[in-house]
Amino acid sequence: MHIVVLAKVVPDYEVPAADFELANNRAHERYKRMMGLYDENAIESGVQLKEKYSASLTILSYGGKDDIPVLRKAVAMGGEKLSLVVGDSDDPNVIAANLKMAIDKLEDVDLILAGQQSADMDRGVVHGMLAEMLEFAFIPQIAKIDREDGQWKVIQNTESGSRELKFGGNAVLSITSVPENVPRIPTVKSIFAAKKKPVNELAEIEGNTMPIDEVSVDIPQIESVCEFIPAEDDIAEAAKILLRKLREERYI
C-alpha cells in the first residue's frame, strides 16, 4: 500500500490581521514559513495509516526549494520519502497538473491525502482538480480512514453530522481536523534523521492556467471600536451594564 500526502508550506497563518501586510498581492516575505494547518492533519492521518497497515508514505509538495527545511518536519513526523516539484505558481490548475505529473512518476499510488484547504489561498480546490486529472474519486472533509475487506471505509464530516462512505478504487481525500489527527510533535532523533533524507526534486511542467484574472488583493479594515466595560472592581455591575447596553442598542 502506497499513500501520498500533499503538503504545502505557507506564510505564518497565525499572524494577526493588525500585523498583516501584502507585497505584490501576496503575504509579505518577512513572515515565518510553516506547514499549512490542515496539511499537518493530513500528514498525521497518513502516518497513522502507515503504522496501522505497514503502508509506505511519500510526502509530495509543489513550491520553492527554500521551504525544504519546513517540509522535512513532515518526514520527521513519519514520512519516508519527500518529493518536491519546484515551482512558484499560485494557479490551482498549474499546481494540480504538476502534482499529477509527480504522482504519475510514483506509479503505484493507492491513496492521496491532502489538507482540506491551504492556509494561504483558503481555496480547497487543488486536491479535487488533481483527483479528476488522475480519474480518482475525490472525497472532502474526511475525519477517519480504515481499510476493511479490500475496501476503504471513511468518515466524512458534514454540516449536520457525519457520513460513513465505502469505496474500492483510488481516491484523493481531503482531511479535516479532529482530535484524533492533531499532529504529533516529532522527536529530536527523528528531526535529525529527517535532515539526512534525500529530497526528490522534480522540474516543473507547464500547465494550463485557469481562465480568470486576479484583479486585486486588499486587506479589509476591521471597523469595530470596542467599548470596554470595566470589570475589575464590581463584576455584578459590569454584567448589568453589559446587558443594559445590549438592550438599549436592541441587539437582544
Partner 1 sequence: MKTLIIEIIEPKRLGELVTVSREFCEKPDIVAVGAGQIPGSFAKAYQVEDTVASNLVSDLASLILKEGYEIVLLSASTLGSGIAAPLSIKLSAPVVSEVIGIKPELVVERPLYGGKAVATYKLKKMPAVLTIRRKYFESADLQGFTEPTLLGPGGKKVELIAETEEKAEGIPLEDAEVIVSGGRGVGSAENFSMLQNMADFFNGAVGASRGAVDEGWVPPTQQVGQTGKIVAPSVYFAVGISGASQHLAGIANAKCVVAINKDEDANIFKRARFGVVSDYKKIVPVLIETLKEEA
In the bound complex, what is the minimum distance in angstroms from residue 121's beta carbon to partner 1? 6
In the bound complex, what is the minimum distance in angstroms from residue 247's beta carbon to partner 1? 10
Indicate the residue among 201 and 234 with the shorter CB distance to partner 1. Answer: 234
For residues 22 and 41, give the distance between their C-alpha atoms in angstroms, rounded to a whole number. 27
Helix 37-53, helix 68-77: angle, nearest 10: 40
Closest CA to 12 of 84, 87, 67, 52: 67
Helix 68-77, helix 188-196: angle, nearest 10: 120
**Which three cell numbers, joined as nine digits, stand for 55?**
503502508
In the bound complex, what is the minimum distance in angstroms from residue 180's beta carbon to partner 1? 9
In the bound complex, what is the minimum distance in angstroms from residue 4's beta carbon to partner 1? 18
Indicate the residue among 186 and 207 with the shorter CB distance to partner 1. Answer: 207
Indicate the residue among 105 and 245 with the shorter CB distance to partner 1. Answer: 245
- In Å, the largest CA–CA distance within the chain is 68
Indicate the residue among 188 and 212 with the shorter CB distance to partner 1. Answer: 212
Indicate the residue among 81 and 147 with the shorter CB distance to partner 1. Answer: 147
In the bound complex, what is the minimum distance in angstroms from residue 18's beta carbon to partner 1? 6
In the bound complex, what is the minimum distance in angstroms from residue 56's beta carbon to partner 1? 24
β-pairing, 199-203 vs 81-86, is: parallel
Asked whether 125 and 174 are in contact (CB, 8 A), the reply is: no
DSSP class of residue 19 equals: G
Indicate the residue among 196 and 223 with the shorter CB distance to partner 1. Answer: 223
How many Cα neighbours within 13 Å face the side chain of 239?
3
Q: 3-class DSSP state for residue 75?
A: helix
Task: Tell me which amino acid residue 60 is.
Answer: L
DSSP class of residue 18 equals: G
